[in-house]
Structure 1
Amino acid sequence: MNPEKKQLSLFDLSMIVVSLVIGMGIFRTPVNVAAKAQIPELFFLAWIVGGFVALCGALTYAEIGSRYPVTGGYYKIFSVCYHPSIAFAINCIIVVSNAASVAGVSLIGAEYLNKALFPVEMQTNDHRILIGLVSIIIFYTINLLGLRTSSRTQNVLTIIKLVMVVTLICAIFFGGQTQQLPSVFNTANGLPATWSDYGKALGICLIAVSFSFGGYQQTINFGGEAKEAKKVIPRSILVGLGIIITLYMAINYAYVKVIGFEQLKSAQSIAAILAGQIFGPTGFTILSVLIFLSVLGYVNVNLLSNPRAMYAMGEEKALPQIFTKKTKKNDVMVVSLTVFTILSIITLFYAKTFDKILNYTIFMDGAGMIFSAATIFYLRKKTAHLDKNTIYTMKLYPLMPIIFIAAYLFVAISIYNDDSEAALNGIYIFLGFVAIYFINKFLNRNRAV
């Protein structure tokens, strides 16, 4: 790669890590984690474990990106390291998973806007689905007009989001903390909890925690664009994840102190509750709207990025040629954009609730994480000739990637135990895409003849 292109500094990469990870999950998933953890100790342990797993994963992806420095590396490593059918199926699953994330996050925003604008009797799940649907359609329409986001806008949105999180943490200093009721860990058989019971609960907690920590895998796309990659990449990941873990632990502490752990298990619009503690009813409404607007930004980014992956697959003939079609006026990938939007809307209506979408998304996303992280073992051998002074090489190899892969296997098993339908659907979708690959290859061969 041309040295002039290596322009990302420590600050740039740290902010990229932060912006990739801190999404909308932290404004909703603590409710899921608290309900499954049952006791505060397990609740906070789940966030600590999730942060450590994220660190192992991010450093693994940083080395993959350093050893295979290409634009869109997260998409392309699969075709380099696996059979084309596996690469096709995994990349399709990533697109479907991202579509599910758009549906899930649009529901988070809908929950906040629904509570801010409508009286209690009108706050139905149908209204949330409708708000989520309108959000997706609005940004689909805007993207058809050729909307483009800039890195400067992304940095501004990241800073706004960070300021929002720090402001919410300050709720613990404004009095009115809820009296903490004693929490009891209840087992299915009514007997005292064993280590196995705690382990199963931790695994279920990590489903929602993984959703909140997701995104750092995209660091793989920046391995060849950093100044002094060997030093900057690991430092930026440590700085970025250090900021994220500190903010996540602090805001979760604020949730527990201000809302109360028992109340947190079933609370809605938890971030807006903290805002109400600081600014009163007006703050509750204003922050609800701000979070909804942040959701729209997330939806927009995904409607911009994922169609490009589908377009690239069309160029490589992994998907039909029609996926490369663009509009003449605005150069928009109209077919890829439309298909991705339809996938998001189908998930919205199919799953209907955030909890259902969460299991469905993390199971499929976990498959992509496991397969992509495992490429480090292949790339280590294939790129053994590279100058170690020019690339990043993680310490504690192979322990860190093994921990990461094992953690996501643990989460996948936990999802199967908690919601076997979501897990089996994920497996069927994977096998379906493998079948589609071979059918498409067979049809293309016949056309060539």
Structure 2
Amino acid sequence: MSIIPRLNRFDLTMIVISLVIGMGIFANPSEVAVRAGDTYIFFGAWIFGGIVTLCGALTFAEIGARYPHTGGFYKVFSYCYHPAFAFMINWVLVISNAASVAVVAIIGANYINPVTLPPEWQGPTGVKVVAVLSVLILYALAFFGIKVSARTQNVLSILKVLAVILLFSAVFMHDDSTVITKAIPTQGSLITALGLSLVPIFFTYGGYQQTINFGGDIIDPKRNIPKAIGLGIGTVIFLYLAINFAYYKVLGLGGLQQTTTLASTMAGVIFGSVGSKIASVLMFISVLAYINVNVMANPRVYYAMSEDGTLPEIFRRVNPKTQVQEFGVTFFVASILVILFFSDSFRKMLDYVMFFDTIGLSLAAVAIFILRKKTKELDNTDIYTIKLFPLVPIVFILSYWFVTLNIFWANPGAALVCLAVFALGLVIYYASVYMNKGRLPK
């Protein structure tokens, strides 16, 4: 059964916002402040990261418009490079996505447990129980159908945006006489501080590229994909800059460096314990939105891999009534649950996840040059094309390579592990092809 388009432009815009706004903006500004060590570098990095993200979003908008396919992030690698390379890139990205969802679920449980559970349930066991339950509830919801999941996403996304707006507006109620902790300057050069600051920033801005996985689900994709991505990313950039200004105004750079539960801490400073609890609930809603959209998006990559014969046929089975890949969703959720039992720290995984992402996203962006040559017949049609080509994709690609080099320089061990995992993907690919009797496109 093939996938039938059922998602409109508004659905996709809300998906874009939720793919990007996870828990990163409520925790990672602290890490950026530590790495930047200076107010100007801190805000300059966020602004630069927003510009680069917009360049990436516009690049992926044209990729999605020129090549609208279910599991598009896999398909574009397969089409422009080779199925083996596509598998190498995507299998680690799906793993890193599952890991991110697992750890974000833990962070969400840390926020909500003190508000809803008795003290004896607020330890590590209670946190993991709530994280598992959150994932399982959204897993069950997914079986009601792609449209039900999209409507749920719309509601959660609107609540998430309202939460960010509420946190930002609270800054106007802040008394400037509050003591601001002195910032701790970073060690190293300006370039190093900027490069390392961009690691958590690009992680916080990331996720929008998964929208091309919904190519087969979108009504009129050649028009709606670029417009939804542009509107969604524009909204995200504005909200990110606004809430970072609020963090700085209330806590100062030193305060940012010393706390990771930024939203509840800031709300506590302004509104007291009640405000802190309300912020914790809003943060948990943000977590639910992030989990839900990933449960929707990632199985579509399995669908594309199965179409190429690199995964068994069961991964592309779609329920004709609900348009849900029941096995694919189950496999992805099972991966999250397994990781949940072994993951306790979000920050320890940051360099690993971002090394995967910077390589994968930059090479996906390079594909636009190949894709333009392969789809010349679309040049004079009404599809979206990048206005400042090739400047826009080049800015994105070079910026991500700059971050990749900084990760390698600062943490060569993590980089070498990631490269080994990429190489392992090649072994898994050929083993899968052999087991599936070489069912690859001719």
Q: Partner residue of 1:180?
A: 180
Q: Is the 8 A contact 2:72 2:301 kept in 1?
A: no
Can you give the 5+ residue segments of structure 2 that lack an aligned partner in the other structure? none
Q: Partner residue of 1:190?
A: none
Alignment of 1:14-33 (within 5 A): 15-33=14-32
Question: Alignment RMSD, CA only?
Answer: 3.5
Percent identity between matched residues is 46
Which moved further from structure 2: 314-323 or 198-207? 314-323
Query: What one-letter code is carried by the residue in structure 2 that aligns with 1:365?
Result: D
Over 3 Å counting, the alpha-carbon distance change for 1:264 and 1:115 in structure 2 is: farther
Q: Partner residue of 1:298?
A: 290
Which moved further from structure 2: 371-380 or 259-268? 259-268
**Residue deviations 1:378-405 (CA, integer Å, cap 9, x gap):** 0111122324341222122222212211
1:124 is displaced (CA, Å) by: 5.5
Partners of 2:142 and 2:375 lie apart in 1 by: 39
Q: Partner residue of 1:280?
A: 272
Query: What one-letter code is carried by the residue in structure 2 that aligns with 1:61?
Result: F
Over 3 Å counting, the alpha-carbon distance change for 1:186 and 1:337 in structure 2 is: closer
**Is 2:217 the partner of 1:218?**
no
1:318 is displaced (CA, Å) by: 0.6
Partners of 1:86 and 1:36 lie apart in 2 by: 33
Alignment of 1:59-138 (within 5 A): 59-116=58-115, 128-138=127-137
Match of 1:337 among 329, 332, 335: 329
Q: Is the 8 A contact 2:19 2:294 kept in 1?
A: no
Alignment of 1:262-277 (within 5 A): 262-277=254-269
Alignment of 1:4-19 (within 5 A): 15-19=14-18
Partners of 2:163 and 2:107 lie apart in 1 by: 16
Query: What one-letter code is carried by the residue in structure 2 that aligns with 1:385?
Result: E
1:228 is displaced (CA, Å) by: 11
1:102 is displaced (CA, Å) by: 0.5
1:106 is displaced (CA, Å) by: 1.0
Q: Partner residue of 2:398?
A: 406
Over 3 Å counting, the alpha-carbon distance change for 1:251 and 1:328 in structure 2 is: closer
Q: Partner residue of 1:416?
A: 408
Query: What one-letter code is carried by the residue in structure 2 that aligns with 1:210?
Result: F
Q: Secondary structure at the match of 1:342?
A: helix
Q: Is the 8 A contact 1:104 1:358 kept in 2?
A: no
Q: Secondary structure at the match of 2:378?
A: coil
Match of 1:439 among 415, 431, 434: 431
Partners of 1:363 and 1:95 lie apart in 2 by: 14
Partners of 1:417 and 1:116 lie apart in 2 by: 41
Q: Partner residue of 1:34?
A: 33
Query: What one-letter code is carried by the residue in structure 1 that aligns with 2:37?
Result: Q
Query: What one-letter code is carried by the residue in structure 1 that aligns with 2:103?
Result: G
1:302 is displaced (CA, Å) by: 1.9
Over 3 Å counting, the alpha-carbon distance change for 1:234 and 1:134 in structure 2 is: closer
Partners of 1:391 and 1:147 lie apart in 2 by: 26
Partners of 1:328 and 1:73 lie apart in 2 by: 21
Q: Secondary structure at the match of 1:62?
A: helix
Q: Secondary structure at the match of 2:382?
A: coil
Can you give the 5+ residue segments of structure 1 that lack an aligned partner in the other structure? 188-192
Partners of 1:184 and 1:107 lie apart in 2 by: 28
Q: Is the 8 A contact 2:135 2:291 kept in 1?
A: yes
1:147 is displaced (CA, Å) by: 8.3
Partners of 1:220 and 1:426 lie apart in 2 by: 24
Q: Is the 8 A contact 1:347 1:357 kept in 2?
A: no
Over 3 Å counting, the alpha-carbon distance change for 1:211 and 1:251 in structure 2 is: same
**Residue deviations 1:105-157 (CA, integer Å, cap 9, x gap):** 11221231245457999865565445434433444455568786343332222
1:363 is displaced (CA, Å) by: 1.7
Q: Is the 8 A contact 2:70 2:303 kept in 1?
A: no
Q: Give the TM-score normalised by structure 2.
A: 0.85
Which moved further from structure 2: 165-174 or 234-243? 234-243
Which moved further from structure 2: 235-244 or 199-208? 235-244
Q: Secondary structure at the match of 1:385?
A: helix
Over 3 Å counting, the alpha-carbon distance change for 1:276 and 1:377 in structure 2 is: same
